[in-house]
Amino acid sequence: MKEKFMSPHTYSPDSLASLLLLTKRHPRAVLYAGGTLLLQSGAGGQEPLPQDLIYIGGLEELKRINRTDRYLDISSAVSISSILETGRHVLPSAFRECLEGIATPQVRNLATLGGNVCAGTQRMDAFPVLALMEVRIEIRRAGSSRWLPLNRCLDGEGNFILNPGEAVTRLRIPYDDWNVQMYKKSAVFRAFEEDRIIFCGLSKRQKNTLNEIRFIYCLGRQTLLRIRDVELELTGKSLPLSDRTIDQILEEAKNYCRDIADMEKGRNRERVFSTLKLFLSTL
């Protein structure tokens, strides 16, 4: 295996096979490509820099985008800007709006989709959107690989988890016939302000009947909120929804969210339900 030693604790593999051998030898190492989260840590962020780093930004095998009739495969080290430039006309519209709203053009040139999704203790912009779309991720280690739904990669406390020695190599976004896609993010200066709210909603209709509906929130740094009981109740309803039905659904959602701490920060409660009302009114 050819391996370049860039600094006392930073390694730069020259192939995917070399990367997997490195992750086996250094199972606690942190992988990075754009390094935007590492720059935040080094600039006085809350998390200390890891002891071992593996740079994957030079691996062509992790910078590919492939499309089929059923899904879009994006490798983990593809930059946000590259995704927008290469797949602008084939991306689901909610996902495209999400990517366009990430930071500045300069940051989007560096930041990767894998880094955005795999941030350890914080849910960044793309995670709730891709989780709602039931994206699957390819996880590889030396000698084996597996596919896992993105929403099953969080532990009970909401942290993104991998087994030691594993690396996320691809994200598979299914194509689906969503009639309505909505993405909204509250305007905040810093990515992880406590009162940040991200909303994504998806729906399918057949004539005047709501066939399927999904919606999700990300509140503050980490809290994900999806009310599946409300989604099931709405499925099969006639469209457009009446004002009475919308008010009833909002009341049920409020009851469900009564004990969620992040709802009480800033104006979160007011903004959450106004966004949901807007989404339901557009179906």
* DSSP three-state, residue 13: strand
Asked whether 254 and 273 are in contact (CB, 8 A), the reply is: yes
Please confirm whether the linkage preceding 240 is cis (ω < 30° from 0): yes
**Which one is predicted more confidently, 182 or 222?**
182
d(CA 102, CA 125): 7
State pLDDT tens for residues 240-264.
Answer: 999 999 999 999 999 998 877 667 6
What's the token pair of residue 99? 């990517």
Beta-sheet pairing, 71-75 with 65-67: antiparallel
**Residue 95 DSSP symbol:** H
Residue 163 phi/psi, 5-degree rounding, is -75, 150
What's the token pair of residue 236? 């099969």
Asked whether 125 and 116 are in contact (CB, 8 A), the reply is: yes
| pLDDT score for 122 | 85
| 96-105, 129-138, 199-208, 250-259: the lowest-pLDDT one | 250-259
What's the token pair of residue 110? 């560096």
Characterise 273 by phi-psi region: left (phi > 0), alpha (psi -120 to 50), beta (else): alpha
CA dihedral 267, 273, 278, 279 (to 10 degrees): 120
| pLDDT score for 50 | 77
Q: In what order do the strands lie in the sheet with 53-55?
A: 3-7, 10-13, 53-55, 30-32
Q: Does residue 121 surpass a pLDDT of 50?
A: yes
Q: Which residues contact 243 (CB under 8 A, 6 or more apart)?
A: none
| 25-39, 64-78, 130-144: the lowest-pLDDT one | 25-39
Domains along the sequence of the chain with CATH:
3-174 (3.30.465.10), 180-281 (3.30.390.50)
| pLDDT score for 266 | 54
Asked whether 257 and 268 are in contact (CB, 8 A), the reply is: no
Q: Does residue 8 surpass a pLDDT of 50?
A: no
d(CA 239, CA 161): 40
Whole-structure pTM value: 0.90
Q: Which residues contact 264 (CB under 8 A, 6 or more apart)?
A: none
Asked whether 231 and 214 are in contact (CB, 8 A), the reply is: yes
Average pLDDT, the chain: 89
The residue to which tokens 């807007």 are assigned: 278
Candidates 217, 19, 242, 237; CA nearest to 127 is 217
State pLDDT tens for residues 32-76.
Answer: 999 888 776 554 455 667 789 999 999 999 999 999 999 999 999
* DSSP three-state, residue 66: strand
